[in-house]
Amino acid sequence: MFDFLEGYDLLGAFWVTVKLAVFSGIGSLVLGTILAAMRVSPVPLMRGFATVYVNVVRNIPLTVIIVFASLGLADVFGITLGAADDFDALSFRLAILGLTAYTAAFVCEAIRSGINTVPVGQAEAARAIGLNFTQVLSLIVLPQAFRSVIGPLTNVLIALTKNTTVAAAIGVAEAALLMKEMIENESQLILISAIFAFGFVVLTLPTGLILGWVGKRVAVKR
Amino acid sequence: MTSVLYDAPGPGAKRRNIVYSVLFLIVLALGVWWIYSAMSDKGQLEWAKWSPFTESQAWTTYLLPGLVNTLKAAGLALVIALPLGALFGIARLSDHRWVRVPAGVVVEFFRAIPVLILMVFANQLYAEYTDISTDMRPLYAVVTGLVLYNASVLAEVVRAGILSLPKGQTEAAKAIGLRKGQTMRTILLPQSVTAMLPALVSQLVVIVKDTALGGALLSFTELLSARKTLAANYGNVIPSFIVVAVIFILLNLLLTTFASWLEKRLRRAKRSTGAVLTGATMDDLGATGTPAGLGPMSKTDRANGDAGGGGG
């Protein structure tokens, strides 16, 4: 029944999916935190920039961003990201770039809403003992904010895992592209689809359960 | 403006803020200049590449038909997904285990799978088992994929909307002797529909964005693939991307603005129960489908739906 699987690197494709999710997850967490810090900073220009970034990027389809990374950044501007000769590596890196830029906007909004859950009194107390903005943010507010947004961030991470399939649009050899290839070549539509659906359920459901448990454990009780 | 992080600035802080502003402005200007010089190096700022957008032909031949297809797919998906979602949302709240559990499994299953996978599956399904013409198949596939995913998301919206109503509503309905179906139909559903309207409009943004998947992978002639033929014709890759992105941004900003206007209006309305579901409320719905409480997240800021659902 599963004979036809032999010619395909199923695990390899899902491994690419996982790598895409992990790398762009880390990237968007870093970029999103920076954006969130800018959105709450006392400098109006930084606030404005981060607000515009979030509202613009959030409203462009991820597909447009990733296709632009390939056709615009790589083909027209000749950006190679250190992988000039290797087409596969280049598409992989461009996909991570696009996913990071897109997901960071959602990470930023999640963290910002977490910052708003910290009681004003805490920051007032921190200022009263002489901490400055950076110290208040990094010592008092962000640690609490992160602990309270693990739930929303988990949702962002799960959405990111599912969004990695969009990388198929620029030829990254991940799960969705392999599925498209397989169902076009083999007459096993239902079985193949079930395998890929199962693969994504395996990737996303445990993430939600484990991080949901972690989120409950570390949440600041108020 | 004072916030949790800083006081109203004094003279020292004001001076410091100006220094930071200037520094940031310099960085920003450098970035803009870098993009500008890269664009002009590659000849992307030439008038010939932009002039097509000032003429009607580029719009009537490529962009408007693409936009119409995008809106058609999004509209169809919403119209079909909404009743389906309501059905599953109510089924998940059923008193009968044999209704509640299968509905839950279906909803969680389709929420866990990327929209693209659903679209690719539907496309092949229609190719093998139906005689839908090749022209229409991409539209059918895109709408099917969007419906399957968004119906399950909307099921959660409906469920959260019904759960957000005060318990007294059901109790009062029981007290005057309404049956379960009547309570749902005449008391709970109408109220939850108002509560979930803003979340619904926000979900429409996700649907609009996800239609672009069909353009990239299923040869559905929406805005993104209209851009491709346009750029092939006029040789203006970068300008065409910018114009298409701007169309998407304006369209979605319109929807989000409408959603938050609706939300404010509904919160103000005297006769409502005061429960309003927003995109942020829906973020509270864990991936495992715990019921949405109107937690601190919903009161603070809109995080605006999930991160593009399962697609783009």
Q: Is A66 touching B (CB cutoff 8 A)?
A: yes
- Identify all chain A residues contacting B44, using CB atoms and an 8 Å cutoff: 76
Query: Is the model's pLDDT at B107 over the cut of 50?
Result: yes
Q: Smallest CA–CA separation between A120 and chain B, in Å?
A: 5
The residue among A204, A1, A94 whose CA lies nearest residue B117 is: A204
- Nearest-CA residue of chain A relative to B231? A71
Give the span between the Cα atoms of A78 and A72, in whole angstroms: 8
pLDDT tens profile A92-125: 999 999 999 999 999 999 998 888 888 888 888 8
SS (H, E, C) chain B: CCCCCCCCCCHHHHHHHHHHHHHHHHHHHHHHHHHHHHHHHCCCCCHHHHHHHHCHHHHHHHHHHHHHHHHHHHHHHHHHHHHHHHHHHHHHCCCCHHHHHHHHHHHHHHHHCCHHHHHHHHHHHHHHHCCCCCCCHHHHHHHHHHHHHHHHHHHHHHHHHHHCCCHHHHHHHHHCCCCHHHHHHHHHHHHHHHHHHHHHHHHHHHHHHHHHHHHHHCCCCCHHHHHHHHHHHHCCHHHHHHHHHHHHHHHHHHHHHHHHHHHHHHHHCCCCCCCCCCHHHHHCCCCCCCCCCCCHHHHHCCCCCCCCCCCC
Q: How far apart are CA A144 and CA B50, in angstroms?
A: 49
Domain-located, residue B303: no
Select A10-218's CATH number: 3.40.30.10, 1.10.3720.10, 1.10.510.10, 1.10.730.10. 1.10.3720.10
Q: How far is CA B145 from the centre of its chain?
A: 15
Encode pLDDT of B204-246 as tens digits: 999 999 999 998 888 899 999 999 999 988 888 899 999 999 9
Looking at residues B289-296, what average pLDDT do you find? 32
Residue B254, C-beta contacts closer than 8 angstroms, at least 6 positions apart: none
Note whether B224 contacts A103, CB cutoff 8 Å. no
Assigned token pair, B242: 């910018």
pLDDT of residue B46: 84
Q: How many domains does chain B have?
A: 1
State the Rg of chain B over Cα: 24
Is the confidence at residue B289, as pLDDT, over 80? no
SS (H, E, C) A188-222: CHHHHHHHHHHHHHHHHHHHHHHHHHHHHHHCCCC
Lowest model confidence (mean pLDDT) among A19-23, A184-188, B71-75, B126-130: A184-188
Would residue B224 count as lying in a domain? yes
**Which residue of chain B comes nearest to A106, CA vs CA?**
B307
pLDDT for the residue B29: 95
A63·B4 Cβ contact <8 A: no
pLDDT recorded at residue A119? 86
Both tokens of residue A153?
């961030």
Q: Answer yes or no: is B80 within a domain.
A: yes
> Is residue B121 over pLDDT 60?
yes
Residue A74 pLDDT greater than 60, yes or no: yes
Mean pLDDT on B191-199 = 86
Query: Between chains, do A127 and B256 touch, taking CB under 8 Å as contact?
Result: no
Nearest to B205 by CA among B148, B248, B242, B241: B248
The pLDDT score that the predictor gives to residue B301 is 35
Can you give the pLDDT at residue B19?
92
- A207:B13 CB<8 A: no
Banded model confidence at residue B287, pLDDT cuts 50, 70, 90: very low
Give the model's confidence band at A136: pLDDT under 50 very low, under 70 low, under 90 confident, else very high.
confident
Q: Is B276 within the bounds of a domain? A: no
- Which tens digits make up the pLDDT trace of A148-203? 889 889 999 999 999 999 999 998 989 999 999 998 888 888 999 999 999 999 99
Domain span at residue B143? Answer: 47-269
Chain B residues whose CB is inside 8 A of the A176 CB are 114, 116-117, 120, 217
pLDDT > 90: percent of chain A:
50
The count of other CB atoms within 10 Å of the CB of residue A9 is 12
pLDDT: which is higher, A135 or B290: A135
| Closest of A207, A171, A212, A125 to residue A13, by C-alpha | A171
The C-alpha atoms of residue B177 and residue A131 are separated, in whole angstroms, by 62
CA B70 to chain centre: 13
In a domain, B169, yes or no: yes
The mean pLDDT of chain B is 83
Does B82 map to a domain?
Answer: yes
Q: Is residue B163 part of a domain?
A: yes
* Residue B81 pLDDT greater than 60, yes or no: yes
Is B98 among the domain residues?
A: yes
- The pLDDT-based confidence of A30 (bands split at 50, 70, 90) is very high
Complex ipTM value: 0.90
pLDDT of A24 strictly over 90: yes
> What CATH number corresponds to the domain at position B52?
1.10.3720.10
